[in-house]
């Protein structure tokens, strides 16, 4: 049965793949660009792709599965 | 070479003329303004960093995490919804990138569409954050525990940045419709894109610290 949590994780999973792949493709397209704005944009796009990987891992319960310390 | 107006290249898919080829004076002031804007982002990064390190100190020095309040251990935050909301914000970063690229390639209609999509996703993230707050406040108050104080301070500060960003992007949308920017002079759009990417990246850190770690 589709619980709200499963639905959220499914949407996060699909969305993270789409957004992450798009960010990486854009990063690759802009790789040769020069200038301060291009460098900062590349850095931020890369970090955003990392964020997508984190969201993806969270969606499949690899990270964020908590136990009280 | 004279600057091209917005109306002149609307709908065309030609590569925009780089600003350095157009107006040396503008190029110089643009570079100075860009440096200033990047320094502003760095200072904002330090601002967030101070709060993040305060949170790290509180968390590491706490005997248990989540903290115990009145004999009950506080719950963890909802990772599933946060992951979905994060994807919404990251998606807005990609749409903003597309918007700027379309402006550079003189596709004004696509630029407008992507910019509107960015604004909508930004508002969606804020609504998601409001929903998250309504759930978290049932268990964790912002004044009662270090966990709540850290969470609401940092995510609230970030949410304020997103709110300002939405206003900023809406202003850019109005300005572009009024022809303020051209195919060769569009520093405001570049700054808006950098700001929005910055807001995305700050959320990567907060998402990891509050929901995944």
Q: Summarize pLDDT for A7-53 with one digit per residue, the tens.
A: 999 999 999 999 999 999 999 998 998 888 889 899 999 999 999 99
Spans in chain B with pLDDT lower than 70: 1-22
pLDDT of residue B213: 86
Is the pLDDT confidence value at A57 over 70?
yes
Chain A touched by B92 (CB under 8 Å):
no
- Asked if residue B47 belongs to a domain, the reply is yes
**H or E stretch at B68:** strand B68-69
Region of residue B179 (left: phi > 0; alpha: psi -120 to 50; beta: else): left
CATH number, domain at B135?
Answer: 1.20.120.80
Chain A CA closest to residue B30: A37
Helix (H, G, I), strand (E, B) or coil at B146: helix
B40 contacts in chain A (CB < 8 Å): none
pLDDT tens digits, one per residue of B21-38: 567 777 778 888 999 999
Q: Single out the residue of B134, B203, B124, B207 nearest to residue B166, CA to CA.
A: B124
| Rounded to 5°, angle at Cα A40 from B57 and B14 | 150
Alpha helix (H) residue ranges in chain B: 19-22, 24-61, 79-104, 108-136, 146-177, 187-207
How long, in residues, is chain B? 213
Residue recorded with tokens 């918007």: B99
- Identify the domain containing residue B54 by its residue range: 18-212
ipTM of the complex: 0.91
The total domain count for chain B is 1
- Asked if residue B5 belongs to a domain, the reply is no
Q: Which residues of A touch B (CB under 8 A)?
A: 5, 8-9, 11-12, 15-16, 18-20, 22-23, 26, 36-37, 40-41, 44-45, 47-48, 50-52, 54-55, 57-59, 63-66, 68-69
Is the pLDDT confidence value at A67 over 70?
no
8 Å CB contact of B35 and A58: no
- Asked if residue B49 belongs to a domain, the reply is yes
């Amino acid at each position: 049965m589709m619980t709200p949590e499963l639905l959220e994780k499914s949407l996060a999973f699909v969305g993270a793949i789409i957004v992450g792949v798009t960010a990486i493709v854009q990063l690759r397209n802009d790789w040769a660009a020069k200038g301060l704005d291009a460098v900062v944009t590349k850095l931020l796009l890369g970090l955003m792709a990392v964020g997508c990987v984190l969201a993806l891992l969270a969606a499949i319960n690899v990270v964020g599965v908590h136990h009280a310390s | 070479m004279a600057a091209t107006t917005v109306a002149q290249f609307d709908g065309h898919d030609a590569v925009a003329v780089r600003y350095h080829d157009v107006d040396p004076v503008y190029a110089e002031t643009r570079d100075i303004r860009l440096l200033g804007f990047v320094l502003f982002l760095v200072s904002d990064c330090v601002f967030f960093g101070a709060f993040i390190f305060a949170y790290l100190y509180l968390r590491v020095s706490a005997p248990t995490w989540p903290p115990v309040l009145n004999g009950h251990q506080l719950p963890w935050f909802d990772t599933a919804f946060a992951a979905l909301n994060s994807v919404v914000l990251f998606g807005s970063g990609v749409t903003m990138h597309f918007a700027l690229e379309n402006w550079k390639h003189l596709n004004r209609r696509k630029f407008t569409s992507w910019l509107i999509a960015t604004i909508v996703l930004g508002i969606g993230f804020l609504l998601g954050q409001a929903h998250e707050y309504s759930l978290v406040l049932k268990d964790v108050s912002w004044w009662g525990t270090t966990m709540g104080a850290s969470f609401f301070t940092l995510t609230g500060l970030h949410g304020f940045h997103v709110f300002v960003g939405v206003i900023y992007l809406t202003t850019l949308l109005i300005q572009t419709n009024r022809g303020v920017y051209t195919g060769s002079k569009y520093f405001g759009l570049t700054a808006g894109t950098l700001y929005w990417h910055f807001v995305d990246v700050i959320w990567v850190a907060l998402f990891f610290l509050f929901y995944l770690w």
